[in-house]
Structure 1
């Protein structure tokens, strides 16, 4: 792109330079987008044969029906659309649908914020706009990247479903619904970028809309578990589900998703004209004239930056834990009717409740690990924004700055994990009537914390020694732990198709953690995991002390 004379700025088309910016953004995300696409497509591809093996035979449909007829099951999966004996395709869409919708929406939000509000805050949009670039070009390129990523996800899911044996037509409609949910929430993030001033506020606002959409859809579906009530129709997630793929497939709900995307993109463009570059339309809360005493310390600054994430992750995991815990009795009945379910979820038939709780605690621990990684990797953002340098110049050593940040993150993980365990215990107690489960599962959840903190230690070491690669490598490590947790139990069902070497599986610290409450705590293993966390955190602080801070 070449510079334009000042007098010719008015002659620029609003979209001028979009193609060049789109190519640049795609180059920047040449790793990020393929990882999302492969992860979501692999999830779809692995689920079909697992469900086929698990629910095969005449007992399969009744066993699954015991799960989906429960209000908690409807809240998580959606309505049944009157399908009493679902086909493999219908079961796959029911199991996968909400997971893929939410995951694709989160991907779209993060990509849009990354290429809009985050670019503005970093000052790069000012530089770009000084060239021959139209007013709407940066936002158009950002949405272009997001929509192409959504398209790639849809294609990947469709291919995965067809390869595993599902009909082409239904697979294509379901994949299209997933991609269009992504475009809707990418456009929601574009609107949020005009309202909020900072990336975190933009992300929080967009994800709050996603959470509200999930809640409206869930409550509406519980009111009418067969078809969904009028309240469900207030949520774009319900529009995608109302395609009723493999049950009574219909295409017109996809038009609602397209229309919503178009309206939101137009709204983002209109709002963008009304604000100054770098500002937001929502009024900001007036800051006090003087910082409180807490912000005079490195620990206080870390708490100020991490507390909103701790609250959000804690409430989200607690909600999921309570919902899954309330399914305990239904899961026990399903295992008794269909032993293949136990093989799929690695549940021991002789200790059903303990096994189910152990599986749920493993999954919840992965959520806590995501909070820990986000907290530790925020150090990179603090460096890039210059805040880290200001803290050091003010007299705080680099070691103390990073050490206090890691301590606050660990304490936040303690709260998040404990809250998830408490909520799971309450759900199980309500389902089974065993009140003692509340305390025992809360304690068991804390037993997974050392393994979670090891993942945070890995991120800390990366931040200290290799900050530029810290974000992608740390999230790849968590993705490995997630794949091992999800695909490991499926090996008994899928056989050699998804076999992983034992050495690869044991690289995940959560796999080294005893499966509490099914297994007794292993003090030696937990101590080793804590020692590993301390060594990795210490290595990160040594690395930070030996290198220059980013400015």
Structure 2
């Protein structure tokens, strides 16, 4: 073989680098035949629910105007968007201006998780090496994953647009809004294409892409709040892929050109992923892991210490993000209170009444950070499944370590870490609120209100552990508990969800202190349920076989 014949094969951009892309795309579609429709139909159905609920709540112009008053405040901008067209508000403008943000965020998650699942996770599991042993180009797998994400984004965009058009809303605005959701999915799919090259661990790749999504959400929030107040760095919204989709202003300006920024960002980050993939070995990351010590530290002598060593590095990143985020939200307490004075009656009631807005806002922040801590807990349990399928759990169990001790050590560390994150969130919100309002007494109340959600988070952790112990492949189902709790907690009262339906969520029973009195009985019951589920998880894990492949 001549040198000239070897060079094209080493060039990832040569035609041969994409050989087998179509076959791999078919395989990915078959593997994701449930996830594909779960994501796309789920986002479309969520918009259907928002549309029907708003149609029932806002039956008159007076109802719409009351919602507009809230949307024009910094609080409305932080949780919704810049509020284009709210000076002449319609139902469709309110839908995309307030609830559209959550569809855009969900679409972004769909894009990044899809790419990580079919690239770095496959590589880590060892299946990519088997695939590449066949006639498959170097970039075929990444290209197929991006094509799958593009297909999902397109279907999501069309379904959302169809839902809005079917609701009787303007066709152009519906298409613009749907395209914005699809463009957001593409932007974060491209982000994941770059982050999967950095680390050998799928969790690190997804975490890095998720951090970009979180930063995009925060930048958009700060920029939109400044836009509503007509002072401050409103340009921050233009640094966010989520903000680009919102800047299309569906049903108001109907401008397509901001989506060019999303497409350019997706193309640039995907190109970065292609370029960096040629600078690393299969199975490795662009940044190699540092070498460990030749001898283990003396304290690494127990399953509990091993669990702390595995979860510790990730907890550092989570801690920094939670502390910075909570400090930012807390520092905006006084401006938010000033804006909430014009909020609609439903929102004021949700936050505890006109005389209790401060406590209501801090209680709502506690609930929000409880969901963040719950996300950390579920991801930690999923990492245990990765440890098992990648063959690292079995060697540990081959020693004198028992199954209950191993899983119990992990659950202890994760349970304490969720408590730690809630404490940091309480400190950040409390210090920020105290500095913003000048009331130092808010610090203690805020910390207590945030930490009080720990039993609900522990129950979510225990449910995830129970699924891991009994049926490890079903662990992702616990995300439904968090998603429903988030929906029922933030949208249930506003959309008049029945009280029985709201009470299904474990987060609905403790009370959003300091706005509400803490229920000691609920704290005890949730803690007891978490303990029972944990015991059942330990027993189930002891009985089942260890799985060495996904």
CA contact (8 A) 1:77 1:98 kept: yes
Paired residue secondary structure (1:435): coil
Counterpart for residue 496 of structure 1: none
Q: 2-side partners of 1:338 and 1:73: how far apart?
A: 11
Q: Does 1:171 align with 2:174?
A: yes
1:115 equivalenced with 2:112 (yes/no): no
In the alignment, does 2:498 pair up with 1:489? no
Cα separation, 2, equivalents of 1:337 and 1:414: 33
- Equivalent position to 1:292, from 284, 290, 297: 297
Q: Which residue of 2 aligns with 1:341?
A: 347
1:182 aligns with 2:156: no
Question: Which residue number in structure 1 is paired with residue 399 of structure 2?
Answer: 394
Residue 304 of structure 1: how far off its partner (Å): 2.5
Distance 1:215 1:188 in 2: 17
Does residue 442 of structure 1 match 2:447?
yes
The partner residue of 1:20 within 19, 23, 36 is 23
- Secondary structure class of the residue paired with 2:196: helix
- Alignment check: 8 A CA contact 2:66 2:344 kept: no
Q: Is the 8 A contact 2:377 2:418 kept in 1?
A: yes
Relative to 1, partners in 2 of residues 1:48 and 1:282: Cα closer, same or farther, differing over 3 Å?
same
Q: How does 1:51-66 map to 2 (within 5 A)?
A: 53=57, 57-58=61-62, 61=65, 64-65=68-69
1:90 aligns with 2:93: yes
Deviation at 1:123, TM superposition (A): 0.8
Q: Does 1:158 align with 2:164?
A: no
Q: Does the 8 Å contact 1:366/1:482 carry over to 2?
A: yes
Q: Secondary structure at the match of 2:300?
A: helix
TM-score by length of 1: 0.86
Q: Which SS does the other structure have where 1:303 is aligned?
A: helix
* Cα distance in structure 1, aligned partners of 2:15 and 2:248: 42
Q: CA 1:205–1:346 in structure 2 vs 1: closer, same or farther (change >3 Å)? A: closer
Aligned equivalents of 1:252, 1:409: Cα separation in 2: 45
CA distance in 1, matches of 2:275, 2:519: 59
Structure-1 separation of matches of 2:68 and 2:245: 22
CA distance in structure 2 between the partners assigned to 1:162 and 1:347 by the alignment: 36
Q: Secondary structure at the match of 1:295?
A: coil
Q: What is the CA distance between 1:163 and its match in structure 2?
A: 3.9
Mapped to 2, the partners of 1:332 and 1:43 lie a distance apart of 31
Which SS does the other structure have where 1:153 is aligned? helix
CA 1:203–1:293: 2 relative to 1, 3 Å: farther
Cross-structure match for 1:273: 278
Give the count of matched residue pairs.
Answer: 534
1:261 aligned residue: 266
Q: Corresponding residue for 1:367? A: 372
Once the 2 structures are TM-superposed, how far is the Cα of residue 116 of structure 1 from its aligned partner? 0.5
Task: Name the SS for the 1:14 alignment partner.
Answer: helix
Does residue 533 of structure 1 match 2:537?
no
Provide the residue aligned with 1:507 in structure 2. 504
Q: Cα distance, 1:328 vs. partner?
A: 6.3
1:237-266 CA deviation, whole Å, 9 max, x = no partner?
A: 333233222332211222232233233333
Provide the rounded CA distance (Å) in 2 between the counterparts of 1:266 and 1:192: 12
- Superposed CA deviations along residues 368-420 of structure 1, whole A, max 9, x for unmatched, are 21111222232211111222112222321111111111110110010111222
The question of whether the paired residues in 2 share the 8 Å contact of 1:55 and 1:61 is answered with no
Where does residue 4 of structure 1 map in the other structure? none
- CA separation of 1:138 and 1:336: change in aligned 2, threshold 3 A: closer
1:545 to 537, 542, 546: 542
Distance 2:188 2:390 in 1: 27
How far did 1:115 drift?
0.6
Are 2:130 and 1:133 aligned?
no
Equivalent residues of 2:149, 2:189 under 8 A apart: yes
Equivalent position of 2:149 in the other structure = 146
Rounded to whole Å, the distance in 2 between the matches of 1:212 and 1:146 is 21
SS at match of 2:17: coil
Residue 465 (structure 1) aligned with residue 470 (structure 2) = yes
Please say if residues 335 and 341 of structure 1, whose CA atoms lie closer than 8 Å, have aligned partners that are also in contact.
no
1:495 is matched with none
C-alpha distance after superposition, 1:89-113 (max 9, x if no partner): 3333332344333332222111111
Q: Does the 8 A contact of 1:73 with 1:327 survive in 2?
A: no
* Residue in 2 that maps onto 1:408: 413
Distance change in 2, residues 1:208/1:490 (3 Å): closer
Give me the whole-angstrom Cα distance separating, in 2, the residues matched to 1:356 and 1:215. 18
CA contact (8 A) 2:470 2:537 kept: yes
CA distance in structure 1 between the aligned counterparts of 2:505 and 2:343, rounded to whole angstroms: 33
Check conservation: 1:298, 1:391, Cα contact below 8 A: no
Q: 1:448 to 1:287 in 2, by over 3 A?
A: same
Mark the CA change 1:280 to 1:538 in structure 2 (over 3 Å): closer, same or farther: same
Matches within 5 A, 1:69-108: 69-70=73-74, 74=77, 77-80=80-83, 84-108=87-111
Q: Aligned pair in 2 of structure 1 residues 260, 487: CA closer, same or farther (>3 Å)?
A: closer
8 Å CA contact 1:369–1:455 kept in 2: the answer is yes
Q: Which residue of 2 aligns with 1:5?
A: none
Once the two structures are TM-superposed, the CA of residue 44 in structure 1 deviates from its matched residue by: 2.8
Unaligned runs of 5+ in 2: 1-8
Farther off after superposition, 399-408 or 128-137: 128-137
CA distance in 1, matches of 2:329, 2:364: 11
Does the 8 A contact of 2:157 with 2:181 survive in 1?
A: yes
Root-mean-square deviation (CA, aligned residues, Å) is 3.3
